């Protein structure tokens, strides 16, 4: 009887299992775990048993949906014995969800995730600008959607449209759409962004169901209108957008409707203003007709002549007052000239004596003040000298610091053996190396032997 090594037996079993080829297994996922390497580890089970499974990162990362506990699936893979643990496992090559299709499952999972984060919340939605004039358009330059949108927007000739052409389906389209939305949002010159695409299958519209597109729309600083597919089509971009339009044409209609609504408001205001002005004009004409037959209006010409005569007298009075003012100014100047000449003849000697006395008094006060300030300055200099660290050093004290550290040492516990120290004296400094430390007790003033 042949005796096998463990590794030989495992290799033999794996060789037998490889003869089975690829197998399909139905069951429910449990214990799904993502390793740091990106590989997925999980268990496939049913009511009668369970099977360990592994799906390598290179294949798992290509899944459109997320593996989750409780998900019913069909797995395609090959059986093998994992030698380090001696356990049977299924190396998974393909995962097909049962019930929902793969794309629909990925749609529902991403929708639930973003909704839980609040990206679809109504309070986050930005309102449409009251008067959009500059429109950003994100779509394919060759599709029917761009023609439909431009045809509707052309009804408002003053609109400015900035087209950012992108691919709207296929691999990499989602990245182009997200970059276009972010660029137009940062541009700072647009009022609203339209993200549109014509109808198609779920696979054709899938670029608008990618997370990167939804996050770019939600982060846009200006409102975004999403018009993707037909009336029955809903995408993740529709939920993330501020306004959802059923079709690209309806997205453009929303912009034009906003402008037409504002135009109607202006027309209504102009009509109300015209009616109000006409009523006021009619009322004033009626009042004037009533005044024309009044007795007071017949006296108006005489009253006007009286006011004109009063005005002429007032103008003459102004000239008389101006002449009187000039005469008074000349008299004042003559009196001032006489007053300025008086001190020269009568008061100059007396003024000089007064100034000389005041000058002498000020000189004495200044000398006294200087002496007092000099005494105060000397006292402060002596106090500063007493408090100066240099004065303390000259009395025989010193300051010790670590080499390279300007902070003075205050306790012996701060010094370690072997540290280089610098002791500053009144004149110069001494460098030393600490060989140890000792704690000295401070002697009391009245101790014996102190």
Alpha helix positions (H), 207-299: 211-218, 236-240, 248-292, 295-298
Compute the distance between CA of residue 161 and CA of residue 121 in angstroms, rounded to an integer.
29
Per-residue pLDDT reduced to its tens digit, 147-188: 999 998 888 888 899 999 999 888 889 999 999 999 999 988
Q: Give me the pLDDT at residue 223, please.
A: 94
Per-residue pLDDT reduced to its tens digit, 408-432: 888 878 888 888 888 888 778 888 8
Encode 418-438: b = buried (16+ Cβ within 10 Å), e = exposed.
eeebbebeeeeeeeeebeeee
* CATH pick for 6-99 out of 1.20.1250.20, 2.40.50.140, 3.40.50.720, 3.90.1150.10: 2.40.50.140
Question: Residue 12: which pLDDT band, with cuts at 50, 70 and 90?
Answer: confident
Strand 40-46 and strand 49-55: the pairing is antiparallel
Containing 196, the helix (H) or strand (E) segment is strand 192-197
- Any idea where the domains of the chain sit in the sequence? 6-99, 125-261, 346-387, 393-450
Q: Give me the pLDDT at residue 296, please.
A: 61
Please state the pTM of the whole predicted model: 0.46
Question: Residue 424 pairs with which residues in a beta bridge?
Answer: 399, 429
Per-residue pLDDT reduced to its tens digit, 87-140: 888 888 888 887 555 667 777 788 888 888 888 888 888 888 888 889 999 999
Per-residue pLDDT reduced to its tens digit, 42-69: 988 877 788 889 998 988 888 877 888 7
Per-residue pLDDT reduced to its tens digit, 242-265: 999 989 998 998 988 888 888 788
Domain at 125-261: CATH architecture: 3-Layer(aba) Sandwich (3.40)
Compute the distance between CA of residue 307 and CA of residue 288 in angstroms, rounded to an integer.
23
Compute the distance between CA of residue 335 and CA of residue 354 in angstroms, rounded to an integer.
26
Structure tokens at 440: 């000295």
């Amino acid at each position: 009887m042949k005796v096998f090594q463990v590794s030989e037996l495992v290799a033999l079993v794996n060789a037998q299992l490889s003869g089975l080829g690829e197998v399909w297994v139905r069951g429910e996922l449990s214990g799904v775990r993502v390793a740091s390497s990106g590989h997925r580890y999980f268990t496939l089970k049913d009511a009668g048993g369970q099977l360990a499974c592994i799906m390598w990162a290179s294949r798992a990362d290509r899944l459109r949906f997320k593996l989750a506990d409780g998900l019913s699936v069909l797995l395609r893979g090959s059986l093998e014995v994992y030698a380090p643990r001696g356990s049977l496992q299924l190396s998974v090559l393909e995962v097909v969800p049962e019930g929902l299709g793969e794309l629909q499952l990925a749609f529902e999972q991403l929708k639930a995730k973003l909704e839980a984060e609040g990206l679809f919340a109504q309070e986050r939605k930005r309102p449409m600008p009251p008067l959009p004039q500059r429109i950003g358009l994100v779509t394919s330059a060759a599709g029917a959607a761009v023609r439909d949108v431009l045809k509707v927007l052309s009804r408002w000739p003053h609109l400015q449209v900035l087209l950012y052409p992108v691919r709207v389906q296929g691999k990499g389209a989602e990245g182009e759409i997200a970059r276009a939305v972010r660029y137009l949002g940062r541009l700072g010159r647009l009022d609203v962004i339209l993200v549109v695409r014509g109808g198609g299958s779920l696979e054709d519209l899938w670029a608008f169901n990618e997370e990167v597109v939804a996050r770019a729309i939600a982060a846009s600083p200006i409102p975004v209108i999403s018009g993707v597919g037909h009336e029955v089509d809903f995408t993740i971009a529709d939920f993330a957008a501020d306004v959802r339009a059923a079709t690209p044409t309806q997205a453009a209609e929303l912009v034009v409707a906003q402008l037409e609504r504002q135009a109607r408001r202006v027309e209504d205001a102009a009509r109300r203003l015209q009616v109000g002005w006409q009523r006021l004009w009619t009322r004033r004409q009626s009042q004037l007709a009533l005044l024309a037959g009044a007795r007071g209006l017949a006296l108006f010409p005489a009253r006007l002549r009286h006011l004109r005569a009063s005005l002429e007298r007032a103008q003459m009075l102004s000239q008389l007052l101006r002449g009187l003012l000039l005469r008074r100014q000349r008299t004042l100047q003559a009196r001032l000239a006489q007053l300025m000449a008086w001190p020269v003849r009568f008061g100059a000697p007396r003024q000089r004596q007064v100034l000389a006395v005041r000058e002498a008094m000020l000189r004495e006060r200044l000398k006294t003040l200087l002496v007092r300030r000099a005494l105060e300055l000397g006292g402060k200099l002596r106090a500063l000298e007493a408090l100066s660290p240099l004065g303390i050093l000259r009395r025989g004290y010193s300051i010790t610091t670590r080499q390279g550290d300007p902070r003075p040492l205050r306790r012996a516990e701060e010094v370690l053996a072997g540290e280089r120290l610098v002791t500053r004296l009144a004149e110069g400094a001494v460098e030393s190396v600490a060989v140890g430390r000792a704690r000295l007790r401070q002697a009391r003033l009245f101790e014996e032997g102190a």
